[in-house]
Structure 1
Amino acid sequence: MDTHLSEEYEALRATVEDFARREVAPVIGELYERGQFPYELVKKMGEMGLFGLPFAEEYGGMGGDYFALCLALEELARVDSSVAITLEAGVSLGAMPIYRFGSEEQKQRWLPDLCSGARLGAFGLTEAGGGSDAGATRTTARLDGGEWVVNGSKAFITNSGTDITSLVTVTAVTGAHGGRKEISAIVIPSGTAGFTVAPGYSKVGWRASDTHELFFDDVRVPEEHLLGERGRGYAQFLSILDEGRIAIAALSVGLAQGCVDESVRYAKEREAFGSPIGRYQAIQFLIADMEARAHTARLAYHHAAARMLAGEPFKKEAAIAKLVASNAAMDNARAATQVFGGYGFMNEYAVGRFYRDAKILEVGEGTSEVQRMLIARQLGL
């Protein structure tokens, strides 16, 4: 595996790094504290083509690949995770299911707006009583007169209630075979009668991102809104999650590296006992361990992405990357807070946001325990 970025990848990385520093950093603190969605930043990211990075040009995409998306996510998360998760969910969870499994008509209908960032899509898998047990889906959908009638609810759904959300793809039980649920994926446009978006959650972190509980009360959509093959919705979403774990690993690496960036800067400026604290071995070792964790996690997601793009099995590698990177993010956020001391506990400093944002990375898109289960299964246990 070649860890050297090509000229094209490096140009993208540098462009997003510059955008994050110039456009995101000056405004995100206030948006975060108000719990306000960053519409202007999303618009600018759309104009840059970030929402279309891994999609074919015929659907309005940039003709890039999944690794390009990961590089963008890492650079955004070095500054802020709310903006990064908005991009990640919009691409890998909102648009990717349609790109991977949609009919040509569905792709032509929905992907151009999603690729441009003018509209956002959401991914409705998790339910309040299910959590990691996604197969325990209770939302139902039945055919009636050429329409799907959907009833149920979804929880913790990102990008589902913004002013520019165009659709949510949900899993629903559409039948049973041999005592097993038949789970299918159905696209539900925003504003459909009976589709209710609950008020946003009061969250510990990711406060500038959009997250809601969703309710479906006799929601009717045309039969052709079935995404992919009937009864394959659960399997389709699991494959989307395998890819998404690489993206979340990249986002986690960005947060972990952002902790290093902030800590190095602060350690050079902050003086104690007559010297910058960065001259003391205790601080040096703390930051050195942070850099080692970020570096190792980056190699893990690069490896998983390389296998994915090569068409090789990558389930185990994606789980390893997600596990290692989310742990690195959490450990580095804790360490950065220690470097900053009392200031690290203040929301005006980036590390305060990093500390609040890190924990969800060990939970979302598969908990750390689920990643260990996947790794063990791939080892034949």
Structure 2
Amino acid sequence: MDFEFTEEQRLLQRTARDISAGYDLDYWREKDDESEFPHEVWDDLTDAGFVGMKIPTEYGGSGYGMIELVAASLEIARHGGGVSGANLLTSPVIGSTAIIEYGTDAQKERFLPMIAAGTFFAIGLTEPDAGLDTAGIKMTADRDGDEYVLNGTKIWTTGAHVADYIVTLARTGTGDAEKRHQGISLFIVPTDQDGLEVNKIDKLSMRCLSSFEVVYDDVRVPEENLIGDEGKGFFHVLGTLNTERINWGAIPIGAGELALDIAVDYAAEREAFERKIGQNQGVQFPLATSKAELETATLMLYKAAWLYDEGADCAMEANAAKLVGARAGFDAVDRAVQTLGGMGFADEYHVERLYRDVRLARVAPVSDELVKAYIAEHELDLPRSY
């Protein structure tokens, strides 16, 4: 296997690094404190083509694959952006993937150039009672002539306040108890429609990318905004979830590398008991362990991205990359806090924010436990446990 990047891929990495380096840790702390969307970073990423990375060139995108997306996310996270910075690339990927794979020609011609140009597409999948059980959603979409009328509530819709559209999953048929995954459809919902109410959720982490409860009260959507086949929306969204999980493998790894850099710099300078604390194996070994774990998780990440780009089945690898990336990133940030000691809790050293942010990766977009249950069932042939 060739691990060498092409010159074009290295240039992409350098560009992502340069953009991220232009927004230092103080910038992200301020955005976090104010719960303010990082419009400046979004605009720079859009101008450089990162928002449209996976969109084909004929629709205004860059035409790259998941390998390039992962490489960019790692650079953005490590060089200042952390979890929030790298997660900016998740929304356009999720918003475009289903349209690329299942959308009509008219939908591709209309929406893909918009996404590549920076129009924000939020994602409305999770519901208060369903959580990660996507097949358990209750939102309805009833046909009324050439429109669908949506009713229900979504939760944890990140970026709904800056989005022009929300890609929304809703039930268009009752199905039956044995086939819960059927009768679900996928829609592109404009956020300026009557009946749409957005309520902010105060939360622990990733505060500059605010999340919302979104209430749909007789929200009308034209039938041409249905993505793919009616009743097949759950299956249409599966490929989208793989891209999300792969990128959410990269995000905590990059954040962990950033925290590790901060911890190493601190350990090299901080003196206690008349010696640099970085001389002590009790400080060195945890940081060295994290470096090894982050590098190992990165290998799994690139394998998942490569399989996706090859059109191969990558469900196990996408889930595994997210699982090990989240754990390695979390442990790296936790060890950074331990290295800084009391100063690890101080805003000025930034690891406390990274700690809050990276903890999310073990819960969302899919929890550690659900990933393990999936691998146990589909790879180890153990009985289904959920």
TM class, shorter-length: over 0.9
Counterpart of 1:87 in structure 2: which amino acid? Answer: L
**Shift, 1:370, TM fit:** 1.2
Task: State whether residues 24 and 41 of structure 1, in contact with CA within 8 Å, keep that contact through their aligned partners in structure 2.
Answer: no
**Shift, 1:24, TM fit:** 4.5
Q: Which runs of 5+ in 2 are unaligned?
A: none
Q: What secondary structure is seen at the aligned counterpart in 1 of 2:152?
A: strand
**Match for residue 126 of structure 1?**
126
**Match for residue 312 of structure 1?**
312
**C-alpha separation between the residues in 2 aligned to 1:177 and 1:136?**
11
**Match for residue 171 of structure 1?**
169
2:195 equivalent to 1:189:
no
Q: What secondary structure is seen at the aligned counterpart in 1 of 2:287?
A: helix
Q: Return the TM-score normalized by structure 2.
A: 0.94
Q: What secondary structure is seen at the aligned counterpart in 2 of 1:2?
A: coil
**Match for residue 86 of structure 1?**
88
Task: State whether residues 120 and 167 of structure 1, in contact with CA within 8 Å, keep that contact through their aligned partners in structure 2.
Answer: yes
Q: Which moved more, 1:174-183 or 1:323-332?
A: 174-183
| Mapping 1:42-191, distance limit 5 Å | 42-78=42-78, 79=80, 80-88=82-90, 90-117=91-118, 119-162=119-162, 165-179=163-177, 180-181=179-180, 182-191=183-192
**Match for residue 294 of structure 2?**
294
Alignment root-mean-square deviation, CA: 1.4
Q: Return the TM-score normalized by structure 1.
A: 0.95
**Shift, 1:178, TM fit:** 4.6
Q: What secondary structure is seen at the aligned counterpart in 1 of 2:128?
A: coil
**C-alpha separation between the residues in 2 aligned to 1:238 and 1:64?**
20
Q: What secondary structure is seen at the aligned counterpart in 1 of 2:260?
A: helix
**Match for residue 275 of structure 1?**
275
- Aligned residue pair count: 376
**C-alpha separation between the residues in 1 aligned to 2:218 and 2:323?**
39
Deviations 1:97-134 (A, max 9, x none): 222221111111111121122x1001111001111111
**C-alpha separation between the residues in 2 aligned to 1:20 and 1:132?**
32
Q: Which runs of 5+ in 1 are unaligned?
A: none
Deviations 1:323-355 (A, max 9, x none): 101011111111110011111111222211110
- Are the structure 2 counterparts of residues 210 and 99 from structure 1 closer, same or farther at C-alpha, using a change threshold of 3 Å? farther
**C-alpha separation between the residues in 1 aligned to 2:360 and 2:59?**
32
Counterpart of 1:214 in structure 2: which amino acid? Answer: V
**Shift, 1:4, TM fit:** 2.3
Deviations 1:145-182 (A, max 9, x none): 211000001000112211xx110011111012455451
**C-alpha separation between the residues in 2 aligned to 1:334 and 1:206?**
17
Q: Which moved more, 1:293-302 or 1:169-178?
A: 169-178
**C-alpha separation between the residues in 2 aligned to 1:95 and 1:213?**
22
**C-alpha separation between the residues in 1 aligned to 2:187 and 2:259?**
40
State the identity %: 34
Counterpart of 1:169 in structure 2: which amino acid? Answer: V
